[in-house]
A and B are shown apart, each in its own frame.
Chain A
Amino acid sequence: MRHLLGIAGWRRDELEALLDRAQAHLPGGPDASHVLRGRVVANLFFEDSTRTRSSFEVAARKLGADVLNWSYAGSSVSKGETLLDTARNIEAMGPAVIVIRHRSSGAPGLVARHVKCAVVNAGDGAHEHPSQALLDAFTLRQRWGRLDGRTVLIVGDVLHSRVARSNLLCLKALGARVVLCGPPTLLPPGLEEMGGEVTHQLDAVLPQADAVMCLRLQTERMSEAFLPSQREYSRLFGITPARAERMKPDALVLHPGPINRGVELSPVVADGPRSVILEQVANGVAVRRAILEACAS
């Protein structure tokens, strides 16, 4: 049993092995419906996330697991129960793996230190979202074979993005160069220490990118005045058709979803030939099958 709390702490060969394992879980691969038969995967979602929760649920069912879906809405948490009490109660039902999504950074780690089963982080605060990073890397690897020597440009609200942090760590570990781009108010200090390069000049770096990973603009942050307006953000950092023209001919566009169409990504680009957004979603199930298999074994 091993937890997946973040990309941090995993070696390149371990990440590669996980991605190799995901390869076998692609549609048309060998039947794996017995892998977790009779075992329980508990989805603890303290924050709304239809996409990630569904993906983990489909992955678990395809491995033959029984799925326990717990969500905070109307739960004992609203009656004042602590995170650890909730987790220990779920643990008492005997799951092989607890998949946890939480708005507080570090919450899955806290649970992992106090339960006996494996814990998978399905996104915690602005900390990490490792399964997303693995499926993104998987998608790029599928196109490129290797990530070595490739430049991935991550654009947008890095400050609040767990996807950006996990991707920075994961892509760097797999040999890619990672450039982070966004307004200064949304790029926190210390990204260089995590291996990233930082810029605010999208148009200058765009032609270097082999892939552009857009982050969802968290419009709920707008009231905190990180940005003057969506309109200005879109002008400075939106991937428009004109900007897409200036990218390398074979450069890819990724987005973790859900997209604010016309803000961080124009519909033409999102649905265009560069986009691998739906491949990301499809690969997500295979990658999460590999994660659950690895953690439950």
Chain B
Amino acid sequence: MTPVLFQRARVIDPRNGVDGVRDVLVTDGRVAQVSEAPLPAPKDARVVDATDKWLVPGFIDLHVHLREPGEEGKETVLTGCRAAVAGGFTGVVAMPNTKVVNDSALVTELVLSRARDAGLCHVYPAGAITKGLKGEELSEAGELIGAGCVALTDDGRPVMNAGLMRRVLQYATQFDVPVMVHEEDLTLSAGGAMHEGATSTRLGLRGIPSSAEVAMVARDLVLLEETKGRLHVAHVSCEGSVRLIREAKQRGLRVTCEVAPHHFTLDDRAVGDYDTHAKMAPPLRGDVDVKALREALVDGTVDAIATDHAPHGVSDKLVEFEKGINGIVGLETALGLTLALVHEGVLTPRRAVELLSDGPARVFGLPGGHLAPGAPADITLLSPSEEWTVDAHRFYSRSRNTPFHGRTLKGRVTQTWVGGRCVFEDGQLKESR
């Protein structure tokens, strides 16, 4: 494998406390050296002039829907990986709510095999908590984890049965994997199409109160304390949830959480005139919640930024708002939306990078997330101030469902390297096959 020398990059590596101009040498697919002094280029090395660029650990997205098997018209493992590397992600966690559900080693192996064929980035499957995501019987977690699953989740569906949830947290402790939860009390959210507030009243849409999420977070924290398990709260959307998680962390509970870029960027007013591209679960919340999420990103309550990349077809969104399917694609806009917080002075560059790389790697115990010598050369090189306008028609994802079409973002991926191989460069994929 050709050695690579990145010269004069601003290296931001939160785990190792690096933020400064460095040369980085990659050999044999791993980081070999990070040096303040200029490094000589080995023979046959590719030399990348990274002046004015940030060189950071490759991003890891804990929450991605690749739709394969079953809904390949929306996305496949291949197209999802293309979108990932175009967005600077070198690893993604694939949710199990495919059709067939990933509740068996067979499906896990299929996803991993498709990922190997794609040959672009790491795909880490998550296995279902319950068989068929029905919330009734535990799936065979041991088999799933043995086949390569990194977490257990019924994502998209809450585990409404508290007794079952308690047993899952208990059972998973033997594998030490996180139980990832979509927190929604269905008796509180029933029939709701958006956040309950002044906008839902004006639009005459049934609201989903914040309590639908907060009440379940509270329940699961109680169960977590009792079971000594590991809980990862997916796509936290409201002020009450981050407050409870912050307190639980202070008390030493093993809870982590993620926030999606759309939840810290938009509030419920983005639904505007029944725009189904602003329809998601959990819904876009109020401005108070957006403010609270931003504070939680800063103070460490939030461990990771995760996109909840949810591809859907045009006809899924071109319908009455109440009928519209939840979710937006997120892999290709995550960096720009995260850096918006840096440009606004909310996050430091180091914290932003941490939330996209080191944080998620730690939460699920994944390789990567840092650039110490010996670490896999999963690297994202980006221009932090380059402006570009989101054009959904040019996404690598197979789907175009985004509320950010037409928005100008600042910060763009210039190169994505996975295991020392360049997979994306200057807007072009570098596929091996």
Contact = CB atoms under 8 A, between A and B. Distances in A.
A105 B274 contact: yes
B197 A106 contact: no
A210 interface: no
B201 A191 contact: yes
Contacts of A104: 320-323
A165 B273 contact: no
A207 interface: no
Contacts of B204: 105-106, 124-128, 162, 165
B318 A105 contact: no
Interface string A159-181: 00010010000000000000000
Nearest to A165: B204
A105 B322 contact: yes
Interface in A96-127: 102, 104-107, 109-110, 124-127
Interface residues of B, number: 21
Given A83-B320, A189-B196, A190-B198, A105 B207 contact: no
B202 interface: yes
A250 interface: no
Interface in B182-209: 196-207
A194 B202 contact: yes
B198 A106 contact: no
A14 interface: no
A82 interface: yes
A189 B274 contact: no
Nearest to A158: B201
Query: Which of A8, A84, A125 has its CB near the most chain B CB atoms (within 10 A)?
Result: A125
A54 to B, nearest CB: 24
Which of under 10, 10 to 19, 20 to 34, or 35 or more describes the interface residues of A? 20 to 34
A106 B321 contact: yes
Contact of B203 (A84, A127, A189, A191): A127
A102 B320 contact: yes
A126 B202 contact: no
B58 to A, nearest CB: 41
A106 B274 CA distance: 6
B319 interface: yes
A193 interface: yes
B201 A194 contact: yes
Contact of A189 (B201, B206, B319, B321): B201
A162 B204 CA distance: 7
A110 B320 contact: yes
Contact of B198 (A124, A125, A189): A189
A50 B274 CA distance: 27
A83 B319 contact: yes
Interface in A103-156: 104-107, 109-110, 124-128
Contacts of A272: none
B174 interface: no
A188 interface: yes
A128 B201 CA distance: 11
B198 A105 contact: no
B315 interface: yes
B273 A190 contact: no
Nearest to B205: A105
Nearest to B315: A82
Contacts of A188: 196, 200-201, 207
A106 B206 CA distance: 12
Nearest to B190: A224
Contacts of B315: 82
Contacts of B320: 83, 102, 104-107, 110
B230 to A, nearest CB: 36
Contacts of B274: 105-106, 109-110
A191 B320 CA distance: 24
Interface string A74-103: 000000001110000000000000000010
A267 B270 CA distance: 45
A128 B113 CA distance: 52
Contacts of B202: 8, 165, 190, 193-194
Given A165-B204, A193-B198, 10 more contacts: A82-B318, A84-B318, A84-B319, A105-B204, A105-B322, A109-B274, A125-B204, A165-B202, A190-B200, A194-B201
11 contacts: A105-B204, A105-B274, A105-B322, A110-B321, A125-B204, A126-B205, A126-B206, A165-B202, A189-B198, A190-B198, A194-B198
Interface of B: 196-207, 273-274, 315, 318-323
In order of increasing CB-CB distance, the 4 nearest A-B pairs are: A190-B198, A127-B204, A106-B274, A126-B204
